[in-house]
Chain A
Amino acid sequence: MIQMEGVNKYFGDHHVLKNISLTIEEGEKVVIIGPSGSGKSTLIRCINGLETITDGLITIQDIDVTKKEAPIRNIREKVAMVFQNFNLYAHKTILENLTLAPIKVKGIKKAEAEKTGMEYLERVGLADKAAAYPAQLSGGQQQRVAIARALNMHPEVILFDEPTSALDPEMIQEVLDVMIDLSKINITMIVVTHEMGFARTVADKVIFMDDGAIVETGTPEHFFTSTENQRAKDFLSKIIHH
């Protein structure tokens, strides 16, 4: 469904993505891990065109995302994103956060967008907050709303950019629980995270990145127990001890 071939990206002289190639199937749950600054976030931001690439090819359902005339709006209707800092629209209520893009971008009727919006708020356990504003919610609640907002676009893919990294420790689990619940439906999830427990439970495939390159790809079983790669081993030993 998503294909990257020979993707390179530079920020000035800095080579952030080095010859990335990968294939992600429909419905697959992919977790990308690796040290900070290894290019994980940049990689997923390229998938929905938030970052442009220097060369290479990215296709989603055979549509070339990297072309200048790419139907970027259609792509973003299919590929939703959840950010590290939630980025809920501060001037809109929770329900309005869920319905703004479906109404204005997808042209869905307001009543319909609100109906499905309430269903997704129910799913993330925040239906009672529909009329509140983002500033009144805790970080964990805001991130759950952000996931509901992504879902209300009825996407085929959701990109998660370190969804729990900005959260207080006691709020991490409530967000992970929502994501684990989500992994049971047929939606493609690409998750950049440092939560190894989540990776183990949910991932069909773990991608380990270091210094802009994909170092290893495998099942969580293989990755966490029998990787031969020295850099991956070093990384895992640090993560597990901390």
Chain B
Amino acid sequence: MLYLSTISWLQEGPFALYRWNSLKEDLPLFFHAFLYTIGISLGALALAFVLGIFFGILSATKNKGAVFLSRIYVEFFQNTPLLIQIFFIYYGLPLINIVLPVYLIGILCVGIYHGAYIAEVVRSGIGSVPRGQSEAAASQGFSYWETMFYVVLPQAWRMMLPPLTNQLVNLIKNTSTIAIISGADIMFTANSWSSMNLNYVPAFAFAGILYFILCFPLAKWARHMEEKNKKAYSR
């Protein structure tokens, strides 16, 4: 009977309290992993934004070559698994004597992968701005890129914000794939720490919480901005 009592359940088995205590002791390890994930995410985000805006604008031009180039980029990276791209770089590049640090591979692969999605968001955002806006800018002497940055993109931004935040949240979660090439991020730390002491439940529950802490405020903030933007241009 004692077996089924609450006390024994807390004392032994996968949920046992001592496993959580051990997590508490090794908290600095997880804190370091948390910062590592934030670092990778920021790097990948910056790269994804640059690529996404660049290719998104390219695919909105009338130049057939530019559109074709950006289609290749978008379709290739959207339609192959991120994991394969990571393996390809991790195992492939050393064969031609290029050895990149793991964090850089993480930033490159996740950034390029999500850049493809952001390019699509940017393309449809640009498409949502009436043509008269860019015509007016052109008639005032703005170049194509100036028209984009001063007139079209600021207006497309409203349309782009909700899907962009989706991408950002997905990007943060997808940085966890670098655990598979020993990336020292939250996921890898949880996995390697718990494989030593079998504290799987606290490790992955806590890892989940850490990702949640990063992603939830972003999603919340985006919803707030979305509401605020509805009232924009009419102050």
| Total A-B Cβ pairs within 8 A | 66
List B contacts of A89 (CB < 8 A): 133, 136-137, 151
Cross-chain contact of A76 among B141, B150, B155 (Cβ < 8 A) = B141
Tell me the complex Cα distance, A144–B66, Å: 38
A104 neighbours in B (Cβ, 8 Å): 142, 146, 150
CA distance A74 to B151 in the complex (A): 20
Q: A76 and B139 in contact (CB under 8 A), knowing A104-B146, A135-B233? A: yes
Q: Does A100 contact B (CB under 8 A)?
A: yes
Residues of A contacting B155 with CB < 8 Å?
90-91
Using CB atoms, name the residue of chain A closest to B146: A104
Which chain B residues lie closer than 8 Å to A135 at the CB level?
233-234
Known: A90-B155, A91-B154. A76 touches B233 (CB 8 A): no
- The docked-state distance in angstroms from the alpha carbon of A149 to that of B142 is 14
Interface residues of B in 108-145 (CB under 8 A from A): 130, 132-133, 135-143
Residues of chain A at interface, number, CB under 8 A: 28
Q: Which residues of B lie under 8 Å from residue A74 when comparing CB positions? A: 141
Q: Is the CB of B150 within 8 A of A80?
A: no
- Are B233 and A91 in contact, with the CB atoms below 8 A? yes
Q: Distance (Å) between the CB of A232 and the closest chain B CB? A: 30
> In the complex, A83→B234 CA distance in Å?
22
Contact check, A73 vs B143: say whether CB atoms are below 8 A apart. Answer: yes
What is the CB-to-nearest-CB distance from B67 to chain A, in angstroms, rounded to a whole number?
A: 19
Known contacts A91-B233, A133-B235; A83/B140 CB under 8 A: no
Which of A87, A105, A153 contacts B133, CB < 8 Å?
A: A87
Selected from A72, A83, A91, A105, the residue in CB contact (under 8 A) with B136 is A83
CB-defined contacts of A83 to chain B, threshold 8 Å: 132, 135-136, 139
Decide: A136 and B234 in contact? CB cutoff 8 A.
Answer: yes
Contact A87 B138 (CB under 8 A): no
In the bound complex, residues from chain B placing their C-beta under 8 Å from that of A134 are 233
Q: Does A70 contact B (CB under 8 A)?
A: no
Q: Which listed residue, A72, A73, A87, A105, touches B132 by the CB 8 Å rule? A: A87
Cβ–Cβ < 8 Å partners of A91 in chain B = 151, 154-155, 232-233
Least distance between B141 CB and chain A CB atoms (Å): 4
Instruction: Verify A101–B154 contact, CB threshold 8 A.
Output: no
Given contacts A85-B132, A91-B155, A133-B235, contact A48 B150 (CB under 8 A): no
Interchain nearest-CB distance for B10 vs A (Å): 58
Q: How large is the interface on B (under 10, 10 to 19, 20 to 34, 35 or more residues)?
A: 20 to 34
A153 CA to B142 CA, complexed, in Å: 12
The reply on A199 being an interface residue by CB < 8 A is: no
Asked if A81 is at the interface of the complex by the 8 Å CB criterion, the answer is yes
A77: interface (CB < 8 Å):
yes
Q: Are A105 and B233 in contact (CB under 8 A)?
A: no
CA distance A232 to B85 in the complex (A): 68
Establish whether residues B138 and A50, one from each chain, have CB atoms under 8 Å apart when the complex forms: yes
Q: What's the nearest-Cβ distance from chain A to residue B145, in Å?
A: 12
Q: Is the CB–CB distance between A105 and B234 below 8 Å? A: no
Given A85-B132, A104-B146, A76 and B140 contact (CB-CB distance below 8 Å):
yes
B interface footprint on A105-141 (CB within 8 Å = 1, 0 otherwise): 1100000000000000000000000000111100000
Against B, the Cβ 8 Å flags (1 = close, 0 = not) of A30-60 are 0000000000000000001010000000000
Query: Does B234 lie within 8 Å of A133, measured CB to CB?
Result: yes
Given contacts A133-B234, A135-B233, contact A153 B132 (CB under 8 A): no
Known: A72-B141, A83-B132, A88-B136. 11 other contacts (CB 8 A): A48-B139, A77-B141, A81-B136, A83-B135, A87-B135, A89-B133, A89-B137, A91-B155, A91-B232, A105-B142, A135-B234
16 examples of A-B residue contacts, CB within 8 angstroms: A73-B141, A76-B138, A76-B139, A77-B141, A87-B136, A88-B136, A89-B151, A90-B155, A100-B151, A101-B137, A104-B150, A105-B140, A134-B233, A135-B234, A149-B140, A153-B141
Q: Top 10 closest A-B pairs, CB basis?
A: A101-B140, A87-B136, A76-B141, A87-B132, A81-B139, A105-B141, A133-B233, A73-B141, A91-B155, A91-B154
Q: Tell me the A residues contacting B by CB distance below 8 Å.
A: 48, 50, 72-74, 76-77, 80-81, 83, 85-91, 100-101, 104-106, 133-136, 149, 153
